[in-house]
A and B are shown apart, each in its own frame.
Chain A
């Protein structure tokens, strides 16, 4: 994507400076959402830059006292969806398993045990694995996860940002957990067992 084109005027009054200052406190959050949308750091940076360009150029449309983080996130998501519709550039190669067969034994498999000798390594890799899995699941499930779990938005706020019913957010999060489970089960089980062992060793204390 080309570099963004800032259409807004420079900060010239206190109101705009205050807005700009507050908006910049959400930079990490916006970059995070952008990265999980675009998947490429360079595209994520462009997305964030364009979001700020639009937001600072139309800051008067923001109602002070309302949720600026949600407002900025909405701008970012709208721009991404629109841009992709226009350019078809960011169409990610999605894993389409969500549209396919659903694992019927999800709950049974969840309670099964599967020990392995590589436990320590797997636990160490878990955080990286979480990011990989998030990028792997289809966008329609990934976005509610990124907004609600990672971004601390309520279901209602996420529904507003994505312009969908609240029930959709709720069901997609549920479905997302199942999909993530399928990918992470081994890691999570091992970590849990590892934590249990630590609890036993330390007389039940947890760290």
Chain B
């Protein structure tokens, strides 16, 4: 065996990852080749140094406590800590009452539009997503985005259809779709997966009042669209309205990323609309 051929075997031998035949071949070569023996010894020494360097890196003091305390002791506490990071809390004191009033009105509006019984349809959508993840809701296999959209639109007789989100930067692909009925309302559900991500796109007729009352609201001045972000059980969602259609993306990616995804991949971003 030539030294060039032995190189990778020696590397695997150093990591104790060579197969038995490879080990035998490498050891034979090492017995006959002092240069490669030196390479082998150097590699083992390097492993020791790398491990020693790694052992010197420990989590900073306080990180453990931060992580444990970030697991919310109670939902209210978590909401509070998140809220303090919200830009509204950085507003000047004089502006706060205006926002507070607007918030009261918004909550009143949401309560008015919320179905009288049960939870908002958006939270039911989160439950649908969880059921899909658990395999409790079968999907109609759809691997082509255009066909998936057409199938969903056809399912509601063309009354409405999903938005043409562009998920190509994430390298996620359509997996399947389903139509669910909640309180007499049809929800179009499209599932995209890939690259370790799972994104579920919900589309239904409604208003911004379909967002949960504790959703954080963000206004995008460029598209003049309000986005509503909320979370439950490790799933995060961003909802916004397109005319009389509500579009809602659900994923386990962090809320700020999901918000960024919705803003940057929505058709409006590519073809901005103006004030209604």
Which chain A residues border B39 with CB–CB below 8 Å?
Answer: 107, 110
A163 to B199, CA, bound (A): 19
Q: Mark B67-84 against chain A: 1 for CB-CB distance below 8 A, else 0.
A: 110111111001000100
Report the stretch among A63-71, A172-180, A198-206 that lies at the interface: A172-180
Q: Nearest B residue to A78 by beta-carbon distance?
A: B196
Task: Give the residue among A74, A173, A191 with the most B Cβ atoms within 10 A.
Answer: A173
Do B42 and A150 touch (CB < 8 A)?
Answer: no
A18 interface residue, CB < 8 Å from B?
Answer: no
- Majority DSSP secondary structure for residues of B touching A: helix
Interface hits, B29-86 → A, CB 8 Å: 34-36, 38-39, 41-43, 45-47, 49-54, 56-60, 63-64, 66-68, 70-75, 78, 82, 85
B147 interface residue, CB < 8 Å from A?
Answer: no
Which chain B residues border A4 with CB–CB below 8 Å?
Answer: 70, 254
Do A3 and B85 touch (CB < 8 A)?
Answer: yes
B8 interface residue, CB < 8 Å from A?
Answer: yes
B169 interface residue, CB < 8 Å from A?
Answer: yes
Interface hits, A177-191 → B, CB 8 Å: 177, 180-181, 184, 188, 191
A154 to B17, CA, bound (A): 8
- Identify which of A20, A52, A177 contacts B11 (C-beta below 8 A): A177
Which chain A residues border B46 with CB–CB below 8 Å?
Answer: 177, 180-181, 184, 188
Do A145 and B50 touch (CB < 8 A)?
Answer: yes
Which chain B residues border A83 with CB–CB below 8 Å?
Answer: 257
Given the known inter-chain contacts A82-B197, A145-B50, please indicate yes or no for A188 contacting B45, CB distance below 8 A: yes
Total interface residues on B, using CB and 8 Å? 63
Do A58 and B234 touch (CB < 8 A)?
Answer: yes
- Identify which of B12, B50, B169 contacts A130 (C-beta below 8 A): B50
Which chain B residues border A52 with CB–CB below 8 Å?
Answer: 67, 70-71
A136 to B265, CA, bound (A): 34
A98 interface residue, CB < 8 Å from B?
Answer: no
Which chain B residues border A48 with CB–CB below 8 Å?
Answer: 59, 63, 67
Do A177 and B43 touch (CB < 8 A)?
Answer: yes
Which chain B residues border A3 with CB–CB below 8 Å?
Answer: 70, 85
Q: Nearest A residue to B133 by beta-carbon distance?
A: A61
Do A8 and B45 touch (CB < 8 A)?
Answer: no
Do A150 and B51 touch (CB < 8 A)?
Answer: yes
A2 to B51, CA, bound (A): 31
Q: Nearest B residue to A126 by beta-carbon distance?
A: B49
Which chain B residues border A192 with CB–CB below 8 Å?
Answer: 41-42, 45
Which chain A residues border B53 with CB–CB below 8 Å?
Answer: 127, 130-131, 134, 150
B195 interface residue, CB < 8 Å from A?
Answer: yes
A121 interface residue, CB < 8 Å from B?
Answer: no
B236 interface residue, CB < 8 Å from A?
Answer: yes
A155 to B16, CA, bound (A): 10
B242 interface residue, CB < 8 Å from A?
Answer: no
Q: Mark B216-239 against chain A: 1 for CB-CB distance below 8 A, else 0.
A: 000000000000000111111000
6 CB contacts below 8 A, A to B, read: A5-B231, A8-B233, A49-B70, A86-B260, A127-B56, A184-B46
B residues with CB within 8 A of A:
3, 7-8, 11-12, 14-15, 17, 34-36, 38-39, 41-43, 45-47, 49-54, 56-60, 63-64, 66-68, 70-75, 78, 82, 85, 169-170, 195-197, 231-236, 252-257, 260-261
